[in-house]
Structures are given as structure tokens and as C-alpha cells.
A and B are shown apart, each in its own frame.
Chain A
Amino acid sequence: MQVVLEDVGYAYGDLPVLDGVSFTVGEGETAALIGPSGCGKSTLLNLVGGLLEQQGGRIATMGTVPAGCLNPLTFVFQDFALLPWRSVAGNVALALEHHPLGRAEQEARIASVLQLCGLTDFADALPKQLSGGMRQRVGIARAIAVKPAVMLMDEPLSALDAQTRELLMEDLIAIWARERTTTLYVTHNLSEAVRLADKVVVLSRRPGRIKRIVSVPVPVNERQKPEHIGLLQQLHDELWSLIKAEAQVADREMQHV
């Protein structure tokens, strides 16, 4: 399924945060959304996911919903958003319980995603018993349990330490290789964007406008190979040069808020 954004704008009261944003995330593609703090990245994601009401422009999905999909537009949250009173399996079940699945299929789905995310042995654990990385794995397992058409990931690794982030990036690449889900991935981490995305959408500082869309011309599963590291570093530097000056201005603006 594709996601098409046309001339999307948004304002919180008198404060415009997005202006004339247009781009498309292709079928099975991962698009990273980067930009300075406060440029409207998360707002855009919430608009695409229907958690914010659209004010201007048009956001649409195109294509058929995959078989077995229960929630076409599915979020993975920065703060994991796990119910602390439910076990790992219970948190995944929350996304399934209100759908007319048989008990057997619900349990099969839960078992399958827990295995995919390396959580089988933690099915009965409570979130408080897990590390940050494992909690986010639960968030990802919950998202893929509904077989989404589009994954909307809001800085999913930013609350994690650097080593856990590396591990989870490898997990995400493995999951995407299997699921091929269209993904819109918000991050402030350029390395993450270059490592995971097929294309990087660069937003300007507030109000966020598209500054550039940069393709990453190396298959995701080959980006760790030594022959590509130079090119990827060059891309990283190019992206940084695009947002550095604006990030500095945004940083000073934020301090005055």
C-alpha cells in the first residue's frame, strides 16, 4: 500500500508547524522523515495515522490492504506505550482482542510475532521486568501482529541506548525483509535514517516544508558492507549539511519557547 501526501499543512492554533508537504511513500518502501526539532515530523506522522485531524491538503492511501490486515495504519511509539498491568502476550493481544479472530488464530498470531521478535520466553513477563530494548520489541511485535499495510514509527529507537539501538536496527531490517511493509519512520538520528530508509525526506525548520528527498541507493541488507560505507557516510554528511544551520536556529528558538 502506498501513502500519498499532497500539500499537507497543519497549525496548533496560530502556530503553523507544517506547510505544503507533498511526497509519496511507495509500496513496501521505508521513508525516513528527518528535520530539526519542532519541524512537525511527529505531527505529520499523527496526521497520516489519523490521530490528528487534517486541516489542509490531502493524505490518502492507495492500493489493496494485505490479506489478514486488521489495522492498516499502525503505530510504533517512541515511549513504547505498553500497558504496565498486562504481560508481553497481553499487550500484543490488546491489538487483536476487538477483532473477530478465533481464539486459535489470535494465539497463533501472538506466538508468531513473539517468536519473530525474540520474545517467546518473555510472553508472561510484565513490561517493568523488561529492558528498554525488549519493551520496544513488544511494541514492534504488537504492531506486526495486526499485519499492517503501513507502519508509522515515531522515533522508535530514540529512547534506547546506542548498543540496543544497533541491535534493534538489525531486528527491524530482518523483519522488513520478511514483511515488506510500507513504513514511514520519523527520526532525528541521521545514521538511523541512512541505515534503514530507502529514501529520506528532509523537512525544514518550523513550519516544516520539504527541503529535499534523498534516495539511499544501496539495498538495506547490504549497508554494513565495507564497499558501501563511504557512500553512506557521504549521504549522512549531505543530510547533516541540509539541516545543520536550521537545527542551530531551531535549537535557539526552542530555548525561547
Chain B
Amino acid sequence: MSDPAKTPVSFRGAGFVPGTRRWAPWLAFALIIACWESASRLGWLPSLFMPAPSEVMNALHALLVDGKLLVHIGASLKRIVSGWILGSIAGVTLGFLMGIFVLARSVGLPVVSALFPIPKIALLPLFILWFGIGEPSKVATIALGVFFPTVVSAFSAVDNVPRNLIRMAQSFGLSTRMIVFKVILPGAMPGILAGFRISTSIALILVVAAEMIGADTGIGAFVLAAGNLMQIDQLIAGVVLLSLLGLTVSALLSVTEKIVLRWR
């Protein structure tokens, strides 16, 4: 009997592998800006409504030199930080209580579910009536906007801590307080930090909205004023600032995650 013909095995497992190219996003940004700049210089984009990136950069530089930039950023940051801290502390606390205690869960879950969908900016007029047009009404709006997603994420994070770890801790005689601080809190940290990503974005949206409704300073107020005066280069500069602020917050959270969750 003759040998059967040998058929080489061909590779057919290419593709569908998740991965990233570090240079790709930089190249994409550079291309977008280059196209935008070229389109402006060629007169394809009317500079009155869509100024070139170079004009936006000039506007940003001018704002930085005359000190207005820092005033507006400072005002917005103050509101974001105060509102976010207040909302986060309250949200994490209630989320933990709901995750740990049956009664708190039974009461809290339907109440939070009912109030969560309300667009919080709609409550700003009410807060202005309660707290006045000054800072407290804006901080309260941001705090409330941050509070609800934080409650939900903290509650889910606590709820997702593996039960076997809690049982293990009970089997070694750890008290409830110790279980909360040594098992549940670190176990819930990934979920809580993921929730912070959502809540910081909400805080950024709400600060702009609140500043557009009633403020003299802040990036939101600046963008609105620039729009009213048809200073589109300044308007886009404000939007770029917001984008940079969002990226900075996101980077800070990434660093925090790397430090706190280095065990993952």
C-alpha cells in the first residue's frame, strides 16, 4: 500500500485578537486637527462659525495670559470638588448600608430607583429658591447628581463581594465591623472606583449646566458668554478646556486605580 499524500496544515486562526496600537490614537488626533486646520485655511470652514485650531490655541493662550482662564477653571473646580465629595461620601455610605443591611436595602432600593431617573439639573431652580443663587445651590445640584450613581455603584459593589470571602471571615471569628473593613471595603473598591468614573463625568456635565443657568464665573458661564458675543474661538477654547478637564480627572482615577487595585 502506498503512503497517503501529505497535506500541510494551514494556519486559520488569524484575527479577532483584542489588542491596541499605542501610536494609533495620537495619529488619529493629529489627522483630525490637521484636516480641520487645512479646511479652515482653504476657506472650506467659515472662520466666524468654526475657527481654525490655531485660532482656538491663540484664544486659549490669551486667556491664560490675562488670568481669566485660571479664574474660570478655579471656580468650576471648586464647585465640582465640593459637590463630588459631598455626593460621593453620602452615596458610598448609603450604598454600603444598603449592601450590608437588609432593612436599608428594602427601604433604599425602591427610593433610589424612583429618584435616580430625575434629571438633577431640573432641581437647580428649586435649590436656588432654597439656598439662593450663590454657590450652595450649584454644589447641591452636583452633589445630588453624583449621589445617585454612587449609591447604585457602591451598593452593587458591596453586593458583588464574593460571599465565600465573607463566610471565610465569619468562620475565623471576625466581627461584623472587621468584615466590613477588611473584606467588604477592599472587595468593593473596584466597583466603587468604576462608579467614580461615571460620577465625575456627571459632575462635569452638571457644573457646566449650573454655571450656564446662574453664574458669572466658571467654564460653563464663560462658554455661554462667548456664544452670546459670537466669540466662537473662545467658545471652542472653553469646550477644549472641558475636554482636558475630563481627561485629567480620568487620568487621576486611572492612577488611583493602579495604586488601590494593584492586586488585580
A81 touching B167 in the complex, CB below 8 Å, given contacts A94-B172, A94-B182, A98-B175: yes
Q: Mark B153-183, 1 if CB is under 8 A from A, else 0.
A: 0000000000011011111111100100011
Q: How far is the CA of A171 from the CA of B174 in the complex (A)?
A: 28
Partner of B172, one of A85, A86, A95, A128: A95
Interface assignment of A10: CB less than 8 Å from any CB of chain B: no
Partner of A146, one of B164, B172, B187: B172
A75 touching B171 in the complex, CB below 8 Å, given contacts A83-B186, A85-B186, A128-B263: yes
Residue of A nearest to B260 (CB): A85
A98 touches B173 (CB 8 A): yes
Q: How far is the CA of A95 from the CA of B171 in the complex (A)?
A: 9
A49 touches B173 (CB 8 A): no
Partner of B170, one of A51, A85, A86, A94: A51
B186 touches A81 (CB 8 A): no
Interface assignment of A181: CB less than 8 Å from any CB of chain B: no
B263 touches A71 (CB 8 A): no
B192 CB to closest chain A CB, in angstroms?
Answer: 14
B183 touches A83 (CB 8 A): yes
A74 touching B172 in the complex, CB below 8 Å, given contacts A51-B167, A126-B263: yes
Q: How far is the CA of A102 from the CA of B203 in the complex (A)?
A: 47
Mostly helix, strand, loop or mixed at chain A's interface?
loop
Interface assignment of A79: CB less than 8 Å from any CB of chain B: yes
Chain B residues with CB below 8 A from A219, complex form: none
Chain B residues with CB below 8 A from A122, complex form: none
Chain A residues with CB below 8 A from B174, complex form: 94, 98
Residues of chain B at interface, number, CB under 8 A: 19
A219 CB to closest chain B CB, in angstroms?
Answer: 30
Interface assignment of A77: CB less than 8 Å from any CB of chain B: yes
Q: Mark A63-100, 1 if CB is under 8 A from B, else 0.
A: 00000001101110101010111100000001101100
Chain B residues with CB below 8 A from A98, complex form: 173-175, 178
Residue of B nearest to A87 (CB): B263
A94 touching B169 in the complex, CB below 8 Å, given contacts A77-B164, A79-B164, A85-B263: yes
Q: Mark B178-222, 1 if CB is under 8 A from A, else 0.
A: 100011001100000000000000000000000000000000000
Residue of B nearest to A75 (CB): B171
Chain B residues with CB below 8 A from A128, complex form: 263-264
Q: How far is the CA of A159 from the CA of B170 in the complex (A)?
A: 22
Partner of A81, one of B164, B173, B261, B264: B164
Chain A residues with CB below 8 A from B173, complex form: 70-71, 98
B173 CB to closest chain A CB, in angstroms?
Answer: 6
Of B164, B168, B186, B187, the most chain A CB neighbours within 10 A belong to B168
B114 CB to closest chain A CB, in angstroms?
Answer: 31
A49 touches B171 (CB 8 A): yes
Residue of A nearest to B163 (CB): A81
Residue of B nearest to A86 (CB): B263
Of B172, B187, B261, B263, the most chain A CB neighbours within 10 A belong to B172
Chain B residues with CB below 8 A from A71, complex form: 171-173
Of A75, A98, A128, A142, the most chain B CB neighbours within 10 A belong to A98
A and B contact pairs by CB, cutoff 8 A, 6 listed:
A71-B172, A74-B172, A75-B171, A81-B168, A83-B183, A126-B263
* Chain B residues close to A by CB (< 8 Å): 164-165, 167-175, 178, 182-183, 186-187, 261, 263-264
